[in-house]
Amino acid sequence: MALYTPGPMAGQISGRIGATIFSHNRGGTYCRNGTIPHKVITDPAIRAKNRMKTIIRQWKTLTPEDRLAWETYCANNPVTNRLGNKITLSPHMAYSGINCRLDVSGCSQISHPPISPAPAPVTAVSAVCSLVAGTCLLTFAPTPVPVGIGMWLDVAVVDSAAHNYVENLWKFCGMLNTGEVTGLDIKALIIARFGTLLLGQIIHIRVSSIGKSTGLLSGPIQTSTTVVA
């Protein structure tokens, strides 16, 4: 679905209208003909679909009081879309998003909306990936990961340093748990999602703090590294 902000002439637009897709890169906004996507059946995709089905069934079992609480939560906690506009999620969307994150992180799901705010963001992150050493070492702060907090890892792998726009390529690779310390090797997590890493590939890493009892994410911090010999 396309997003549109009226302006003097055209304003901002992002997404699909009919057969036309609007996007942007470092050269600015552009449009292209859309294609019918191939059906992708991967283990992560199947797990995501099954997770969503389970959470939808759980939503249907909530009490009217719980649903009203989620409606109030959404009204008081608008989110920012990719055009920078504040929008109000539906109660079901908020419930599903939070509980999907909790489930994929191995944390207990919640039937009542969170009271605590999102955790403080990660303050620093960098990475070094070496084929000879066989490691991809992630350095981060604060360290160790604070009590009750996890570090949510999104990764994108591209073959060229000129490929800088990766917003449509992020994949969740795992969560660093409470107590884990800086200098952690995350290569196995990356290979599990992207396959064998090759010399010269660029690994983009986006890290957010996640409340393990709330499912709320902090703002992200990003870094990138080149796979070296």
3-state DSSP assignment of residue 93: helix
Those residues whose C-beta lies under 8 Å from the C-beta of residue 149, and which sit 6 or more positions away, are 119, 178, 209, 210, 211, 212
- Please give the tally of structural domains in the chain: 3
Residue 186 falls inside a structural domain:
yes
Residues 172, 154: contact at Cβ < 8 Å? Answer: yes
The pLDDT of residue 26 is 55
Measured between alpha carbons, how far is 73 from 80 in angstroms, rounded to an integer? 15
pLDDT digit string, tens, across residues 77-136: 998 877 778 889 999 999 999 999 999 988 999 999 999 999 999 999 999 999 999 999
Per-residue pLDDT at 28: 62
- Looking at 74, 104, 134, the residue that finishes a domain is 104
Domain of residue 17 covers 3-33
User: Residue 15: inside a domain, yes or no?
Assistant: yes
Asked, for residue 113, whether it belongs to a domain, the answer is: no
| CA–CA gap between residue 179 and residue 120 (Å, rounded) | 16
For 113, list phi and psi in degrees, rounded to 5.
-65, 155
Residue 45: what residue type? A
- Whether residues 160 and 214 share a domain: the answer is yes
Entry pTM: 0.80
CATH number at residue 163: 2.60.40
Q: Which residues pair with 210 in a beta bridge?
A: 150, 217
Structure tokens at 214: 């709330």
- Residue with the bigger pLDDT between 2 and 76: it is 76
